[in-house]
Amino acid sequence: MKRIFLLIVTNFAVLAVLSVTMQLLGVDRMLVQGSGLNLNALLIMAAIFGFGGAFISLLISKWMARMATGAQVIEVPANMTERWLVDTVKRQAERAGIGMPEVAVYDSPEINAFATGWNRNSSLVAVSTGLLNNMTQDEAEAVLGHEVSHVANGDMVTLTLIQGVVNTFVIFLSRVVGFVVDRVLLKNERGQGLGFFVATFVAQIVLGVLASMIVAWFSRQREFRADAGGADLAGRNKMIAALERLKMNHEQSQLPAQMSAFGISGGGGFMRLLMSHPPLDQRIGALRESAQAGRVNPVRRA
């Protein structure tokens, strides 16, 4: 469930590097025409760098995930638990119609898992030691089904395309803001001065946060679909039990009231807009409602 956080952070880093490179190479200065901006050229440049940054983030997502979490890919299962993990992911991948993902374990006390990769046949599914130690086998099977469903549904590529669109507008609008501040407010007629660079940098940060909210909203919608896929691959009751376990663990590990506003998993206010996952009660309720309605779970198959 670290998937979206890692993608957004990596995208921010790549976008920052590309932005600095553009300024050092004088690309921004080339977009100025007399007393105005060449908006057509700016939009094309923004799209190239915006989508380029998003797809670079996607292509290195498996490497970044392994580096960030210390996940160790299971080459040859060393024990019965690792054998069960590999066999379960293999069985679920075959049912979902995707290539066999790499399976990894990373050392962390939290109950967590993630899937990443640039396409459906070159992915990584990783689970924490906390998940293995605190979940039953049925619950862990449901979590694996949830992650395999993310891969089968093409969620990483879908969110990368969305990230590319919002990146384009972040780059475009931040430079428009920088130009207006430099030329209109600071009356700089000799080109792009310090005001342009400072205003562009600040605008890119603010717009980047707003863009992250958009990506997070789409991510929350994809989580419901992955939950339904996990229910299809492992069983609805197992998927509900896994979410109940996550809810119980979350409630037991909540921060003290005086510190809750600073927690990354804060349940309300501004932080809710940046949440990549819907509240667990909503996810559990959606599974129970779909069971009552008799809906078919939408795991895409080849």
Q: Which amino acid is at 141?
A: E
Looking at the domain assignment, is residue 86 inside a domain? no
Count the domains in the chain. 1
Q: Is residue 147 part of a domain?
A: no
Whether 106 is in a domain gets the answer no
Active site residues: 147
Tell me if 146 is assigned to some domain: no
Average pLDDT along the chain: 81
- Quote the domain boundaries for residue 31: 3-74+156-253+263-290
Which among 205, 163, 170, 202 is positioned nearest to 46, based on CA atoms?
A: 170
What span, in angstroms and rounded, lies between the C-alpha atoms of 98 and 203?
41
Which whole number is the average pLDDT over 272-297?
78
Res 91 pLDDT > 90? yes
Please indicate, yes or no, if residue 200 is contained in any of the structural domains: yes
Cα 168 to Cα 48: distance, rounded to the nearest angstrom: 8
Distance CA 55, CA 21 (A): 17
Q: Which amino acid is at 265?
A: S
Per-residue pLDDT band at 4 (split at 50, 70, 90): low
Q: Is residue 132 part of a domain?
A: no
**Position with higher pLDDT, 162 vs 28:** 162
* pTM for the structure as a whole: 0.79
Examine residue 20 and state whether it is found in any structural domain, yes or no.
Answer: yes
Q: Does residue 223 belong to any structural domain of this protein?
A: yes
Higher pLDDT, 126 or 36: 126
On the question of pLDDT at 203 being above 80, the answer is yes
The predicted structure's pLDDT at residue 261: 32
